[in-house]
Structure 1
Amino acid sequence: MTGLCDHRFDVNLSILFTELPLLERPAAAAAAGFTAVELWWPWPGSPVPDDSELAALRDALNRAGTRLVGLNFYAGLLPGPDRGALSVPGAESERFRANVDVAAGFARSLGCGALNALYGNRVEGVPPGLQDALALENLALAARAADRAGAVLLIEPLNALESPRYPLVTAADAVTVVDKVNAITGLGNARLLMDLYHVAMGGEDVNRAIDLYAGRTGHVQIADVPGRGAPGTGDLGLTALLDRLREAGYDDWIGLEYRPAAASADSFGWLTGAAPR
């Protein structure tokens, strides 16, 4: 067994270091020892921010020496009531479409290799089949944009306890969509985002999910269960799970997407003895 500190961790700047303004977070992550970060779409109210905002964030990441390794497409109000926009008919899916090339271009400018497209909640009064057809159309659009940016497209299941209107609530649900997108585009760049927190909170057998889907996984995120805190604050057994992931063939970045108990900079004690990479 290797141990948590033997894996490559990046820090999610949309849930950690949020006590700081966005442009100060990359430097704070670097000061904590991280060389890589990920982000939800940083402007939830604006799928197409001004070029100056994109440039300012790019400059902040570059000045800090932090590599962006994961980025969400526009997903509505996140954190908040929304869980994506691409399957929501009307204005929200139009916002998603408007954002696709913006997000992919930003990712390309920073060498970011993973773009996450949250599916979106079910909408009352709208047939699920209509939403699913819209989702596949928009995911194919996103997959092609990701391919032009040299990135994979991630599709993420959430857990039904916290996201009861989100239709992808198991790893198998997400992999089914991954296969459909790859069949439509022929690119093969759609992958599973395996968030071990959501897998466990959804009541799945996490070991089995790893065994079945590690080879289909483009990115991993972690938080402990229950509570969505740092590793060691719950009973998920992350050390063994991450070792299992590596043995199953996943040896890429692992995103820290947990809620700090206090100041973010003080929430990495579980990494004592080895610098985050």
Structure 2
Amino acid sequence: MTYTVNCSILLTELPLLQRPAAAKAAGFDAVEFWWPFTSSVPADAEVAAFERALTDAGVQLTGLNFNAGDMPAGDRGLASWPARTIEFRDNIDVVAGIGGRLGCKGFNALYGNRQEASTPQEQDELAVANLVAAAQGVAAIGGTVLLEPVSGTPSYPLKSAQDALDVIAKTRAAGVDNVKLLADFYHLAVNGDDVPAVIEKHARDFGHIQIADNPGRGAPGTGTLPLGEWITRSRELGYTGHIGLEYKAAAESAFAWAIREPAV
């Protein structure tokens, strides 16, 4: 099984730049991150330190979020947020630059919460335009923009796989083919989506899979979701990518469930 450790939600007992090495020590060769900076265009020194932490640890960056705003405060992306479009567009080159230097191909663009200052139609049209721009920006490095349904945030409009797929269809109509569904099995299950049906219809075209158990968004085996069965079926139907570990767990026991090779 090819796992990638989300170092923005796991190993948080450590400073962010120490987490790639901790993931490596735990036996993993791949990591992913939410946007690890406080601004869309961080200082060159900040970017260099982040990249060095990964290369020094000897892990592959497999996924990186575009700037999604202040996540702890409830922000869930900038793609559909009119007042922050310039930030989103400025972020594209930074994301593509990091991806190009580190060989990362997957880039999660959170859609954004509904904003009272604009209509849903205005936000949806903007989101498509921004996602197309992001897709064009990472196409030169062979990148894919990922779009995911999210749970726990009522003002986030993409709740089901179909919600995201409808937006992806609009990006295709606008001329890009490198926007794909991020199938986070936890979010889909919590939102009441029919996860097995989504897998049967779309697994071959998943851009990425992420997992956590429910209830609690904990490690696999702490809840009731048949994550192993869902992953196996996705593989059978043609999904060949990494499985993102995006759950909450204490560092000392976070990976006790996983079969992996120890670091040498």
Q: Same fold (TM over 0.5)?
A: yes
| Residue deviations 1:180-228 (CA, integer Å, cap 9, x gap) | 112212x311110000000100111111111111122110000001100
- 2:253 aligned residue (260, 266, 273): 266
State yes or no: 1:110 paired with 2:102: yes
Distance 2:261 2:211 in 1: 18
Unaligned runs of 5+ in 2: none
* Identical positions, percent: 51
Q: What does residue range 239-254 of structure 1 map to in structure 2 within 5 Å?
A: 239-254=228-243
CA positional deviation for 1:80: 3.0
Q: What does residue range 182-197 of structure 1 map to in structure 2 within 5 Å?
A: 182-185=172-175, 187-197=176-186
Distance 2:159 2:205 in 1: 17
CA positional deviation for 1:275: 2.6
State yes or no: 1:176 paired with 2:166: yes
Distance 2:57 2:73 in 1: 28
- 2:216 aligned residue (227, 238, 250): 227
- 1:94 aligned residue (82, 86, 91): 86
| Bigger mean CA deviation after superposition, 229-238 or 146-155 | 146-155
Unaligned runs of 5+ in 1: 1-6
CA positional deviation for 1:276: 7.8
The count of residues paired between Structure 1 and Structure 2 equals 263
Does the 8 Å CA contact 1:47/1:98 hold for their aligned counterparts? Answer: yes
Q: What does residue range 16-27 of structure 1 map to in structure 2 within 5 Å?
A: 16-27=10-21
Equivalent position SS for 1:271: coil
Does the 8 Å CA contact 1:86/1:96 hold for their aligned counterparts? Answer: yes
| Residue deviations 1:46-66 (CA, integer Å, cap 9, x gap) | 111000111111111001001
Distance 1:239 1:276, change over 3 A: farther
Instruction: Report the AA paired with residue 42 of structure 1.
Output: P
CA positional deviation for 1:19: 1.2
Does the 8 Å CA contact 1:73/1:99 hold for their aligned counterparts? Answer: yes
Q: CA RMSD in A?
A: 1.3
State yes or no: 1:28 paired with 2:14: no
Instruction: Report the AA paired with residue 200 of structure 1.
Output: A
Does the 8 Å CA contact 1:32/1:265 hold for their aligned counterparts? Answer: no
Q: What does residue range 4-23 of structure 1 map to in structure 2 within 5 Å?
A: 7-23=1-17
Q: What does residue range 15-94 of structure 1 map to in structure 2 within 5 Å?
A: 15-43=9-37, 45-90=38-83, 92-94=84-86
Distance 1:101 1:245, change over 3 A: same
Distance 1:22 1:78 in 2: 16
Distance 1:62 1:238 in 2: 31
Does the 8 Å CA contact 2:24/2:58 hold for their aligned counterparts? Answer: yes
Does the 8 Å CA contact 2:160/2:191 hold for their aligned counterparts? Answer: yes
CA positional deviation for 1:81: 0.7
Distance 1:177 1:136 in 2: 7
Instruction: Report the AA paired with residue 245 of structure 2.
Output: L
Instruction: Report the AA paired with residue 140 of structure 2.
Output: R
Equivalent position SS for 1:269: coil
Normalising to structure 1: TM-score of the pair? 0.92
Normalising to structure 2: TM-score of the pair? 0.96
Distance 2:209 2:138 in 1: 18
Does the 8 Å CA contact 2:20/2:53 hold for their aligned counterparts? Answer: yes
CA positional deviation for 1:98: 1.2
Which contiguous aligned blocks of 4+ residues in structure 1 show a shift greater than 4 angstroms? none
Instruction: Report the AA paired with residue 132 of structure 2.
Output: A
Distance 1:182 1:228, change over 3 A: same
Distance 1:201 1:15 in 2: 18
